[in-house]
Amino acid sequence: MTVLQVGTLKPSLTQTLERRHRAIGLPDTDRDDFLAEHGEAVTAIVTSGRFGVSADLMAKLPNLGAIVNFGVGYDTTDVDAARERGILVSNTPDVLTDCVADTAVGLFLDVIRGFSAADRFVRAGSWPAEGNFPLTHQAGNRRVGILGLGRIGSAIAHRLTAFGCTISYHNRRPVEGSPHTYRADLVEMAREVDVLVVAAAGGQSTSGLVSREVLTALGPQGYLVNIARGSVIDEEALVELLLEGKLAGAGLDVFEHEPKVPPALFGLDNVVLLPHLGSGTVETRGAMEDLTLANLDSFLHSGTVLNPVP
Asked whether the beta carbons of 254 and 227 are under 8 A apart, the reply is yes
- Predicted confidence at residue 310, as pLDDT, reads 82
For residue range 188-207, what is the model confidence (pLDDT) as tens digits?
999 999 999 999 999 888 99
Nearest-angstrom CA–CA distance, 199 and 254? 11
180 vs 50, 67, 168, 175, CA distance in Å?
Answer: 32, 35, 5, 9
What is the average per-residue pLDDT within 63-71? 97
Domains of the chain by start residue, with CATH: 3-95+282-302 (3.40.50.720), 97-273 (3.40.50.720)
On whether the CB atoms of residues 227 and 199 are closer than 8 A, the answer is yes
Cα torsion 54, 59, 61, 66 to 10°: value is 60
Q: What is the DSSP letter of 76?
A: T
Average pLDDT over residues 118-122: 98
In this prediction, residues 2-22 reach a mean pLDDT of 96
**Residue 129 to residue 142: CA distance in whole angstroms:** 33
pLDDT band at 251 (very low <50, low <70, confident <90, very high): very high
Residue 103 above 80 pLDDT?
yes
Catalytic residue set: 229, 258, 276
* Average model confidence (pLDDT) across the chain: 97
Q: How confident is the model at residue 223 (pLDDT cuts 50, 70, 90)?
A: very high
Q: Using one digit for the tens of pLDDT, what is the confidence trace for 163-172?
A: 999 999 999 9
Distance set, CA 187 to CA 169, 191, 199, 298 (Å): 12, 6, 16, 43
Bridge partners, 143 (sequence order): 166
pLDDT beyond 80 at 289: yes
Residue 1 above 80 pLDDT?
no
For residues 123 and 62, what is the distance between their CA atoms, to the nearest angstrom?
57
For residue 59, the model assigns a pLDDT of 96
Q: Is the pLDDT of residue 161 over 80?
A: yes
d(CA 135, CA 41): 62
Q: Is the confidence at residue 139, as pLDDT, over 90?
A: yes
Residue count (the chain): 310
pTM of the full structure = 0.92
Q: What is the DSSP letter of 220?
A: T
